[in-house]
């Protein structure tokens, strides 16, 4: 498993990730939030250009309307965010 995030949809990635609404996306976010092992995270910088930014684990998972609203506004996303994943880098 790894995380691959577009900066346009997740401007604070890799520290804050905003999963969408689809059932598979929601399920993947919940699985990621529960696991204890860190995963490699990649950020999309341009077409076909992904940058490895380190290994991370979920420090906090939130479905609160307050957290979603705050971070969705920052990302200019409305009505398509199911939760907020707060990630923390794991140093090897």
pLDDT tens for 1-47 read 899 999 999 999 999 999 999 999 999 999 999 999 999 999 999 99
Residues found in the chain: 92
Distance (Å, whole) CA 76 – CA 6: 13
Q: What is the pLDDT of residues 75-90, one digit of tens each?
A: 999 999 999 999 999 9
Quickly tell me which residue has 């996303």 as its tokens: 77
Q: What is the pTM of this model?
A: 0.92
pLDDT above 90: residue 55: yes
Q: How far apart are CA 25 and CA 23, in angstroms?
A: 5
**Which residues, 6 or more positions from 47, have their beta carbon under 8 angstroms from its beta carbon?**
none
Measured from the Cβ of residue 50, the count of other Cβ atoms closer than 10 Å reads 14
């Amino acid at each position: 498993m790894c995380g691959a995030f577009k900066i346009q949809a997740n401007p604070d990635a890799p520290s804050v990730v905003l999963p969408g609404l689809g059932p598979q996306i929601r399920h993947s976010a919940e699985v990621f939030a529960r696991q204890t092992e860190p995963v490699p995270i990649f950020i999309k910088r341009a077409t076909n250009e992904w940058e490895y930014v380190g290994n991370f684990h979920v420090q906090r998972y939130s479905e609160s309307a307050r957290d979603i609203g705050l971070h969705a506004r920052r990302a200019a996303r409305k009505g398509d965010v199911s939760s907020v994943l707060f990630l923390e880098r794991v140093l090897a």
